[in-house]
Amino acid sequence: MPDATRQLPAKFDAWFAGRGWSVHPHQQAMLDRASDAALLLIAPTGGGKTLAGFLPSLVELADGAHQGLHTLYVSPLKALAADIKRNLRRPVDDMALPIRIEDRTGDTSYTQKRRQRADPPHILLTTPESLALLISYEDAPRMFAGLQRVIVDEIHALAESKRGDQLMLALSRLQTLAPGLRRVGLSATVEDPPAIARMLARHPDPCPILLADPGPAPDIAMLQTDAPPPWAGGGANYAIPAVLEAVKQHKTTLIFHNTRAQAEIFFHNLWLANTDDLPIGIHHGSLAREQRERVESAMVAGQLRAIVCTGSLDLGIDWGDVDLVIQVGAPKNVKRLVQRIGRANHRYNAPSKALLVPANRFEVVECVAALQAVQAHDLDGDPKGAGPRDVLCQHILIAACAGLFYADDLFAEVCSVGAYAGLTRAEFDACLDFCATGGYALRAYDRWKRLLLTADGKWQLRDPRAALRIRMNIGTIQDTDTLKVRLKGNFKPLGEVEESFAATLTQGDTFLIGGQIVRYDGLREMTVEVTRDASKTPKIATFMGTKFANSTQLSQRILRMFAQDDWPQLPAHTAAWLGLQRQVSKLPEVDRILVESFPHDGRQHICVYGFAGRNAMQTLGMLLTQRMEEMDLQPLGFVATDYAVLVWGLKPVTDAAPLFRAPDLRAGFETWLSGNAVMKRTFRGAATIAGLIERNLPQARKSGRQATFSSDILYDTLAKYDPNHLMLQITREEALRGLVDFGRIEEMLARTAGRVDHVGLERVTPLAMPLFLEQGRIALAGAGRERLMEDEAAALMAKVGLPAD
Amino acid sequence: MNSYAFTLCGTRCQALPSGALWLPEAGTLCVSDLHLGKSDRIARRSGVMLPPYEVQETLDKLADDIGATDPRQVICLGDSFDDLAAADSLDGAMRLRLTSLQAGRKWVWVEGNHDPGPVDLGGSHLAQIEVGTLSFRHIATSATAEVSGHYHPKHRLAGRSRPAFVVDAARIVMPAYGAYTGGLDCMAPVIRQLFGPRAFAILTGHKALAVPLA
């Protein structure tokens, strides 16, 4: 129950009054409920949400009586921690409160970190990974003993990933170290607040939810341009003059992109067209820290008119006077769109202003559907599954780093985390056994167990030096292996690219990074060496950004729109494009699967429109190509988008309907699961989190020669000799839920019930065209690939006059 | 036949798709860089416990090659064990497996940088061995008519990278045969400079595929 309305101390009243502010109702409510064990606040960005979270801490600390750590603030972003520190200093300094505030992230210096453990500040601002590291130290009980409050900011963002699970496991540890700990969650608008509340509270504690006034409806529209968007591609180049014009008309504009590569290309082209030299910056996760920080501080100082950015700016950093948000590319997910729009106009009660810029004609349709959904307040989202066990394995290793522990105690603690409330003791013991012995059917590591059971029943590390390696590999962010990019002879890196991207580069290739074109010179000590290049057309930077799957709700809206006779709500060019598709082929329908087949560029293609979201369509691609392999159609590869999968191969498909028989697909799914690339990628992620594969080694990586081998080999070996191993169970579970998403394939099969329309064509159709420019093509290792390799080998040997065999 | 036949300094050779080299006239099968016991060594040194099945996987593959060629002599061309302690800790079943593979044929452990001393596992332990016109040693020298391993060469073809033999008129560098072995692109200077301009690579996999090296 809330306490009676709490009066703010006079000092605070005076401070609010001095700034011409009054306390928002939800800020007052947070104060009134300050003694609740758990509390969730849902408020739009700019509603004084962070201050609402901190106000009770500031009041409690105002008399200077509390010694040591009082409040822990956890946010998903390092930048957010730094930003909050800046903003929190203002009231603290203005009121001369005796409060020490510090941040602690991966970027904090070693000396500073050591000092923080010995003498923690009153308020510590950190990230889930830095917190996990903190609880791995033996002195954690001393550091956290007096902890009163923990504030989890942007909890809706953490809830979507394993970072949230790791954080909640860490909080269960903190709750043991500081039994009186109160939890506060701050969230943007979400579709299912009670789910977030269950995640936050100690199970089975209740968690009241406070809803702040959502403010006026956003002013949101699709950007009108003279030039129509292209048939395909993600660059939105056509919109650059109109975007520049919009930037000129506003004080500060955020220009969001869905991937880093798109952000880079757009930024580059924006600068080529920026004849007025408007100050415009770029910000994304692949850029070097120095460069990101430069942009952040220029933004805070009001020196930039626009920032081209990705999800790295998604969260609630206060960038000051942003008065326009532009979303380039389809938003994929209505909830995320609403949250991004909320970044504009931080003055409460002023409507946010946003423009959607579709990158191609299909995205025009997606944007219109998303606009309709926003107007209907139709947020989307999928329920989250049980707590992932790879994260639990890492948590067990972290516990072992901190000191000896009883399995019973740790199990009880873990079960107090909402997501792990249903964990059975057997499941927990399997994770513990994995950490201790590897958990293999072949008990091979008797002498080299990682954890040992002491005589009095406690678990401990066999070799205390292992703690160093475990700490170095803490975290659940699944970044692919990246390489630093450096200008030749220059020490400071420009940023990072994926190893797989670097592997495709040959000397002289050019690509974009940090808004400039560079030429690849070579790989040196795991660093990509480049020189500046004056050319204007780079080889595209394909390093990854987040790829979101289109939500079910949005897909359904699009299909409903396709069914219309004409499309008055769409721009003429897009309506004409859909009309053309209807004329040369068909438009996909809700209750039928449309398959188009056509030759292109020397390969036979089929394009399957299933509208099941990117992950499920990817799985469908796997299953279809497996069946095609069995039928000797020699498929070579495929690429999936949210709405379709495009398969290419050496032989044409004459009748597609048999490919979609549900029982065959399901049976194929079982055999397929064990041996496919998505599973291997999922395995790599899970095995890395669980501590089977180390991302970071104590000595810096040298040349990689002979030292590393592919995690695929580990997967294949396990699948062959130990198919029930914990890591394979986790991989399967996770693939089913996320990357594989067989649930949405089932949903597609149910809604289409075997109705397959196969249209044979002479050339690529309007609707299939965007797929040819999609990234993320998956090459298959089947008969077709073998034939291609043999042909290429024979051709090369013939050229030099050697016999091929 | 899925293997690739060629002649080196007068000796007929077949590169098998598994990564083994078969000399039909001498009845000799050669494999290099088995790295047996790698998972044991990693567990001992770092606490990370990889699936402990790589010895089984590697010996299964070797048993298939021995079954197919029935060699009079098997040469393990160095780095057969990830280190000498890993050789000592090989479990009973795997020792038995090795013994049965060794039965009825000559077995030579050529020493490598990972396993510089003799092992307690039958067979003879040598620094190098001559077969026909060819010398077998772990690390390539400037001598000709030489077969060596050590570098774990791989080669990329049609977008795929696979372990590969690298061959010219003077020498062969063998691919790593062990299950848990990484590799180095054979265009890397440290490998490429061992060979003349008319070198080629033979990729392992489903079928041994020969391609010229640029």
Q: Give the amino acid at B81.
A: F
Mean pLDDT, chain A, integer:
85
Summarize the confidence of residues A222-241 as an average pLDDT: 81
Tell me if B203 and A706 make a contact (CB, 8 A cut-off). no
More confident residue, A744 or A801: A744
Tell me if B52 and A790 make a contact (CB, 8 A cut-off). no
Say which of A692, A721, A802 has its CB closest to residue B56.
Answer: A721
Tell me if B43 and A802 make a contact (CB, 8 A cut-off). no
CA dist B172 and B134 (Å) reads: 10
Is residue A411 a contact partner of residue A428, using CB atoms and an 8 Å limit?
yes
User: Which A residues, 681 through 720, put their C-beta within 8 Å of a C-beta on chain B?
Assistant: 691-694, 703-710, 713-714, 717-718, 720
Q: Return the domain boundaries, chain A.
A: 10-211, 219-375, 395-472, 482-532, 586-788
Q: Where are the alpha helices (DSSP H) in A585-660?
A: 614-630
Count Cβ–Cβ pairs < 8 Å, chain A vs chain B: 127
A608-628, pLDDT tens digit by residue?
A: 999 988 878 888 888 898 889
* Distance to chain B for A800, nearest Cα, Å: 7
pTM: 0.80
pLDDT of residue A536: 64
CA dist A311 and A642 (Å) reads: 19
CA dist A299 and A293 (Å) reads: 10
Residue of A nearest to B201 (CA): A793
Residue A31, sorted as left (phi over 0), alpha (psi -120 to 50) or beta, turns out to be alpha
Terminal Cα distance for chain B, rounded: 27
> Which of B1, B6, B33, B48 is the best substitution to test chain A (most A C-beta atoms within 10 A)?
B48
CA dist A538 and B2 (Å) reads: 42
Class of domain A219-375: alpha beta
Stretch among A536-540, A629-633, A646-650, B130-134 having the lowest mean pLDDT = A536-540
Q: Give the amino acid at B90.
A: L
Is residue A432 a contact partner of residue A459, using CB atoms and an 8 Å limit?
yes
Say which of A448, A725, A800 has its CB closest to residue B212.
Answer: A800
- Residue A432 backbone dihedrals phi, psi, to 5 degrees: -65, -40
pLDDT of residue A701: 44
What is the 3-state secondary structure of chain B?
CCCEEEEECCEEEEECCCCCEEECCCCEEEECCCCECHHHHHHHHHCCCCCCCHHHHHHHHHHHHHHHHCCCEEEECCCCECCHHHHHCCCHHHHHHHHHHHCCCEEEEECCCCCCCCCCCCCEEECEEEECCEEEECCCCCCCCEEECCCCEEEEECCEEEEEEEECCCEEECCCCCCCCCCEECCCHHHHCCCCCCCEEEECCCCCEEEECC
Residue of B nearest to A788 (CA): B158
A710-723, pLDDT tens digit by residue?
A: 788 899 899 899 99
Summarize the confidence of residues A154-171 as an average pLDDT: 92
pLDDT of residue A803 exceeding 70: no
A651-673, pLDDT tens digit by residue?
A: 999 999 989 988 888 887 777 66
pLDDT of residue A675: 60
CA dist A625 and A649 (Å) reads: 9
- B178 confidence band (pLDDT: 50, 70, 90): very high
Q: Name every chain A residue with its beta carbon within 8 A of the beta carbon of B91.
A: 444
Look up residue A373 and give its two tokens: 């959904």
- A1 confidence band (pLDDT: 50, 70, 90): very low
Nearest to B203 by CA among A623, A788, A205, A484: A788
pLDDT of residue A30: 94
Q: Name every chain B residue with its beta carbon within 8 A of the beta carbon of A710.
A: 182
Look up residue A136 and give its two tokens: 């791995």
- A298 confidence band (pLDDT: 50, 70, 90): confident
pLDDT of residue A545: 40
> Which of B160, B181, B186, B211 is the best substitution to test chain A (most A C-beta atoms within 10 A)?
B211
- Considering the four listed CATH numbers 3.40.50.720, 3.40.50.300, 3.30.460.80, 1.10.3720.10, the one that applies to the domain covering A10-211 is 3.40.50.300
Percent of chain A with pLDDT over 90: 42
pLDDT of residue A500: 59
Q: Name every chain B residue with its beta carbon within 8 A of the beta carbon of A470.
A: 47
More confident residue, A171 or A629: A171
- A546 confidence band (pLDDT: 50, 70, 90): very low
pLDDT of residue A36: 95
A426 and B CB contact within 8 Å: no
Tell me if A722 and B53 make a contact (CB, 8 A cut-off). yes
Q: Name every chain A residue with its beta carbon within 8 A of the beta carbon of B85.
A: none
Tell me if B207 and A792 make a contact (CB, 8 A cut-off). no
A446 and B CB contact within 8 Å: no
- A478 confidence band (pLDDT: 50, 70, 90): low
Angle at B40 between CA B35 and CA B46, to 5 degrees: 110
Mean pLDDT, chain B, integer:
93
Bridge partners, A532 (sequence order): A518
More confident residue, A175 or A21: A175
- A484 confidence band (pLDDT: 50, 70, 90): confident
A790 and B CB contact within 8 Å: yes
Residue of B nearest to A706 (CA): B182
Q: Give the amino acid at A49.
A: K
Domains, chain B, with CATH or none: 4-212 (3.60.21)
Summarize the confidence of residues A325-354 as an average pLDDT: 77
Residue of B nearest to A463 (CA): B47
Tell me if B49 and A718 make a contact (CB, 8 A cut-off). no
Instruction: Kindly list the strands in the beta sheet with B73-76, ordered across the sheet, starting from the edge strand earlier in the chain.
Output: B4-8, B11-15, B21-23, B28-31, B73-76, B106-110, B124-126
pLDDT of residue A55 exceeding 50: yes
Residues on B contacting A at a C-beta cutoff of 8 Å: 1, 4-5, 39-40, 43-44, 46-54, 56-57, 89, 91, 152, 157-160, 176, 179-184, 188, 198, 200, 203, 206-207, 209-212
- A26 confidence band (pLDDT: 50, 70, 90): very high
Q: Name every chain A residue with its beta carbon within 8 A of the beta carbon of B159.
A: 779
* Distance to chain B for A617, nearest Cα, Å: 24
More confident residue, A798 or A146: A146
Summarize the confidence of residues A169-181 as an average pLDDT: 97
- Same fold yes or no, A10-211 and A219-375: yes
B93-104, pLDDT tens digit by residue?
A: 999 999 999 999
Residue A465 has, within 13 A of its CA and on its CB side, a CA count of: 7
